[in-house]
Amino acid sequence: MSKITLIIKREYLTRVKKKSFIIMTIIGPILMAALMIVPAWVSQLEDQDNKTIAIIDQTKAVSLAIENTQYLKFERLENKSLDDVKKDFKTSGYYAVLFIPENITSAPSGVQLFSNKQPNLGVKMHISNALEKELESEKLKASGIDENILKAVKTNVNISTFKWTDEGVEEESSTELTMAVGFIAGFMIYLFIFLYGAQVMRGVIEEKTSRIVEVIISSVRPFQLMMGKIVGVAMVGLTQFLLWIILTFVIVTVVQTVFFDINPANIQQEVVAQDLFTGSSSQLSEIQPVMDENASEIQGMLSTLKNIDFAVMIGMFLFYFLGGYLLYSSLFAAIGGAVDNEADTQQFMLPISAPLIVAFIVGQNVVNNPDGAVSFWFSIIPFTSPVVMMIRIPFGVPFWEIALSAVLLVLTFIGTTWLAGKIYRTGILMYGKKITYKELWKWLRYSS
């Protein structure tokens, strides 16, 4: 046991002192924080260039529905033709020219927008939304239908979900939040098994090709070396994972505090100030209930976080992370011991990586039916359970299913470690021979 401890210590200290580890530990949180910060930052950006769009409206009325915004102005040209405006466009200072034909009601696709550059999506959507609402209103009036009646009967249904505990207590839940928590946890396990399992394989290949392993093997058994390397790299992975979480949280918190004001009231005031609601009190009164509904949904999702048992989630995450990692890394170590270079690993990587890839693909369907037969069996099969079961757990999984999955995972890990140890013991000192599946089968049959 002391020899395995020394190997673990060597693997851990050697890897955490590498420049690549330090660089990735710094870059990783920055990239993850950027994924959360950049979209929020971009959403707050507004195109602050004032744009003026000339309108030639043959109907003389439809264009009145298009309202100005803070950075977008519309100028209606009464006595000019489209050809005249096109000729003087370069010197006019207009951003674009909007042409509305007289038969727009029967041929709405006849609306045209001319510019010497590609109009952005925001401009196009602002115009099309305004025209659509106006044409719908005109058609309703022509049919004798009161528009206010349609607005009155329009109803948005927001379903609040509650989960009964075994004690009969009602707890507020959120399907969307549960899906997100489960899928993120499963994806993290999928990613780390691949990332750090491959590190074990590359480490074994490096030691084998540099002949350092010949010196190490003179002092320890091959199985001890394999287990020490696997556990050492696992500790490196957990260290980096915890550092990523802490640093990402610190970066996001600091950036939000210094650069962003995420108070919902301030956001609403900013939106109104930027004329995103195009100004009128009637429109604002229509949108206010929608904002209130969205705010209540967000508040409900945040309150749901209190009902998630994070102690269980973290405990299960660590178990399935370690269980899945130990299972796959033993196989990766066996591959590293059997080959002389990474190019030769390709023929053996597919059978090992295929179950993980299948688990990730199945996991995307598990969130839609976490209690189905597919979800059950893939969360029980040890080669897919670390990912699939982690996705299912936030939805609520019976204890006996978790226990069965855990026991099978541990037993399979022991079995694969035993098989990998036999391959590793034989292949670690074998050089210059092209290894096939037939050769691996012979190694498994060798007696101790």
**Of 33 and 243, more confident:** 243
Taking Cα atoms as reference points, which of 94, 66, 65 lies closest to residue 80? 94
**Of 319 and 226, more confident:** 319
For residues 163 and 230, what is the distance between their CA atoms, to the nearest angstrom? 40
Biggest CA pair distance of the chain: 99
Give the mean pLDDT of 327-353. 81
Mean pLDDT score of the chain, rounded to an integer? 77
For residues 375 and 364, what is the distance between their CA atoms, to the nearest angstrom? 10
Give the mean pLDDT of 24-50. 72
Q: Does the pLDDT of residue 171 top 70, yes or no?
A: no
What whole-number percentage of the chain has pLDDT above 70? 78
**How close are the terminal C-alpha atoms of the chain, in Å?**
20
**Of 147 and 78, more confident:** 78
Tokens of 400: 């006996």
For residues 245 and 325, what is the distance between their CA atoms, to the nearest angstrom? 19
Return the pLDDT at 172.
Answer: 56
Give the mean pLDDT of 399-428. 86
Q: Which of 126-130, 292-296, 367-371 has the lowest mean pLDDT?
A: 292-296
Contacts of 353 (CB under 8 A, 6+ apart): 194
Return the pLDDT at 378.
Answer: 92
For residues 443 and 95, what is the distance between their CA atoms, to the nearest angstrom? 75
Domain ranges for the chain: 51-145, 175-284+297-445
Cα dihedral 10, 16, 17, 21, rounded to 10, equals: 140
| Half-sphere exposure in the Cβ direction for 40 (13 Å, CA) | 13
**Of 339 and 163, more confident:** 339
pLDDT in tens, 173-182: 566 677 777 7
Residue 25 and residue 243 in contact, taking contact as beta carbons nearer than 8 Å: yes
pLDDT band at 169 (very low <50, low <70, confident <90, very high): low
- Tell me the fold of 51-145: D-Maltodextrin-Binding Protein; domain 2 (3.40.190)
